[in-house]
Amino acid sequence: MASDADQEAMMAAWEAEAGDDDGASSTKGGGDADAGNDDAFAAEWEAMVGDDGGTISATEPEGPGSERILNQDEIDNLLGFDGSEETGDEQSGIRAIIDSGLVSYERLPMLEIVFDRLVRMMTTSLRNFTSDNVEVSLDNISSIRFGDYLNSIPLPAILAVFRAEQLDNYGLFTVDSNLIYSIVDVLLGGHRGTAAMRVEGRPYTTIERQLVQKMIRVVLDDAQRAFAPLTQVDFTLDRIETNPRFAAIARPDNAAILVRLRIDMEDRGGRIELMLPYSTLEPIRKMLLQQFMGEKFGRDNIWESHLASQLWSTGIDVQAVLDEHSVPLSRVMDLKVGDTLMLNTPPDGDIEIRCGNIPIATAKMGRMGHHVAVRIGKTLAKEKAAQKILEQT
């Protein structure tokens, strides 16, 4: 009984609410209000909707719940791309953020020649090392920040840190996993025509590390011979790492030269990456700026030989100094014709031969006919003359 009474009360409440809605909608004032609201909403919609019916006009004021769609020009301004081929010095938007990480440094022509020689030497050396048909090619030479390079190394890989002795700095040598397994497969007698087996998820074994280390030493010896016509540089292997964090040889923001080499052994092969920081190449920077091997800045061998031949025939004034002593200026001003100056050098004493202010020899004074003559007794050491020149200059 109680449940029936509750249901009847609920039905009565619904009927009362329905009656109120019908009465409100049947009144004249309520109908005018609804019609006015509908007309205002339709007018606002027509103003917001464009000719195509789908694009919101950017000139109309946005409502609190509307979403504004950017046009192509606004998107280009946000990203920093104006769509034209010409690029000015000033950049904005996301493009300026992206380009700020790029590294652009001067071109080193001689470095390209050095690595071209390295490719030819590696082709011969790796053929003798693997007893297989090896082809080495140079992919590219680029500039990159050291931190960006460490983050881009595909793992697993073996990183060899080597030292350039004469340049007093380090370099980095990276061997990717494909080349590691290919070298191990070739050196341990793998069959031709089969791809090297690659096992993921495990560290490199001692045998694999030792075999790759031998290959790295062969490449470093070739790099040493490639630099030999330019300058003497000894590359010595410092350590082998598998974690890029432990192979840091420069600050992350420092610029470096990255050389990518491709090694193909028929159906096997991989990549080698040689990374040299600019601080390592700074001592030989002038040599790397040469356009060709043997170029000399500001030197001409023909002019040097001509200048040397002319210097040998140049006449100079030589003075024989008997003695030197200091006297007051008043005495010098009082000298008259016939006065005698007493010298401390005896008749058979040594006198000094000078060219300007530089002593060149000692001699004995004498007479030949009607002329006073000197005979060279001892030439001064070249080191002493050079020392006096440096002291005077």
Residue 56 per-residue DSSP state: B
- Kindly state the average pLDDT of the residues 235-245: 88
The pLDDT score that the predictor gives to residue 215 is: 92
Segment 253-271, tens digit of pLDDT: 888 888 999 998 877 888 8
Distance CA 171, CA 235 (A): 9
The pLDDT score that the predictor gives to residue 28 is: 44
Half-sphere CA count of 213, side-chain side, radius 13 A:
15
Segment 4-13, tens digit of pLDDT: 666 677 677 6
Sheet holding 255-265, edge to edge: 135-145, 255-265, 268-277, 169-176, 157-164, 235-241
pLDDT at 192 over 80: no
Q: 125 versus 107: which is more confidently predicted? A: 125
Distance CA 360, CA 362 (A): 7
Neighbours of 230 (CB within 10 A): 18
pLDDT at 26 over 50: no
Segment 206-230, tens digit of pLDDT: 888 899 999 999 999 999 999 888 8
CATH number of 317-335+342-392: 2.30.330.10
Of 13-22, 74-83, 131-140, 168-177, the one with minimum mean pLDDT is 13-22
Q: Which of 6-15, 55-64, 352-361 has the highest mean pLDDT?
A: 352-361
Segment 34-49, tens digit of pLDDT: 555 566 666 666 655 4
User: By three-state DSSP, how is residue 308 classified?
Assistant: helix
pLDDT at 52 over 70: no
The pLDDT score that the predictor gives to residue 149 is: 87
Q: 135 versus 108: which is more confidently predicted? A: 135
Query: Residue 50 — pLDDT band, cuts 50, 70, 90?
Result: very low
The pLDDT score that the predictor gives to residue 378 is: 79
- Kindly state the average pLDDT of the residues 77-91: 54
Q: What is the mean pLDDT of the chain?
A: 76
Query: Residue 161 — pLDDT band, cuts 50, 70, 90?
Result: very high
Picking from 261, 275, 281, the residue whose alpha carbon sits closest to that of residue 116 is: 261
Domain ranges of the chain: 109-288, 317-335+342-392
Q: 334 versus 197: which is more confidently predicted? A: 334
- Kindly state the average pLDDT of the residues 225-252: 87
Query: Residue 84 — pLDDT band, cuts 50, 70, 90?
Result: very low
Distance CA 118, CA 244 (A): 25
* Assigned token pair, 72: 């192509």
Please report, rounded to a whole number, the percentage of residues in the chain having pLDDT higher than 90. 9
CATH number of 109-288: 3.40.1550.10
The pLDDT score that the predictor gives to residue 385 is: 59
pLDDT at 93 over 60: no
Q: Are the beta carbons of 181 and 267 closer than 8 angstroms?
A: no
Distance CA 307, CA 297 (A): 18
